[in-house]
Structure 1
Amino acid sequence: MNVVFDFGGVLFRWHPPSFLARVWPHRVPDAEAGKAVVAEFFQNYGGDWGAFDQGLIDEDTVVRRIAARTGWPEAEVRAVVDAVPEELQLQRDTLALAEDLKRAGHRLFFLSNMPAPLADHLEQLHPLHQWFEAGVFSSRVKQSKPSAEVFQLAAAQFGVAPETLLLLDDHPANIEAARASAWQAELFTDAGSARLALQARGLLLL
């Protein structure tokens, strides 16, 4: 099987409500209160942040657009954007799962919605080329999940048939889009649950 990992929320920590509670305590007292602020800031990864993910605008532009749209000071918006790299901490239990899949003979790839500065950051900090045969960052192909185009493009770049690809992703919309593009997919909640799902598929030993 060709297993494709999402990054934010799967291989790397990404939990926006608690992230904003940490970075913006004056606006977000706790993770529960952060949910509404997350929706306004990231727009479900559409809008301003979606354009940033797709490499259509740069960091300065996304800061200006979010500030103009929300009325939040640019300096505060920039503080959030500047803090994202620190949020993206490697989830070692997910990496262990990837390593076990590789030892079991499966091929590993990645497909991540990731703005260009963050994609560069992750490549510089981690040996992605050792962990994965290949991967697609949304900002480098100007397409992002859940568009059908990015799934078609990824399958072509990986050089494998869509039906042989299994996506691990934490967003239901991406799971649905992957399946609509003839991929297989499992909704990721944590590494332990993903391991059980992969064992049920016969990809890993019990």
Structure 2
Amino acid sequence: MNDRTMIKVRCDKELLYIRTISWEKKSPHRFAILRSELQKLEQEPNKRVLTSDCGSFASLRLTKVPDGTQILEIRFTWLQEDGNDRVHGWKENVRLPYEPFRAFAGAGEDMDGAEWRQLSIPELVTRRYEFRCRKNLQEVTGCRLLRHKLGKILEQHFQWRGTEKIVLYDDSQPYSFFFEEYTPYGRGICGAVILHGIEDIAKARYSVHT
């Protein structure tokens, strides 16, 4: 479990103060977030809210996992000056269960310096593919080389956060597919998985167009 990040949260009437501690390093300072930023997240779920503090930046997004649990994603960009007019830093992503975080934020101002701690939730990339096609799929599955090429592009490309499933349909081009992404909030990105260079199957390659 050494790859997990510990998040510590304190709060007052207007601000939430967040620190992170991982096996390799800890945040250079506490990051202050206005309580009003949480209201923005709740009003527009799945959209990012950008904020900054002490020269560092954070991108916040409220999303859902397939079982309906709300997750607060925070992407930190920690920056420090080295005294020679130069800046160095690193990026860090953490994921928190939103309901207990929200409950603490709501009660924290009356708790006289209380601290809430939570290990970041690891992201499990799970994808479900549905093939609602027949002709092109039969042609691809009938060729071992094309099966391998298609499986490889699906595994490598569709690493999108919050995706519940990818639905594929026959495309007008041979061995190719139109796709639709579905998230907990409905249909997402649409595009096509196209096989290029079909004149030479051994050298042909799939690419994704959106």
Higher strand share: 2
Q: Which has the higher contact order (CA 8 A, sep 6+)?
A: 1
**Does TM-score exceed 0.5, indicating one fold?**
no
TM-score (norm 1): 0.23
Structure ID, larger Rg:
2
More helix by share: 1
TM-score (norm 2): 0.22
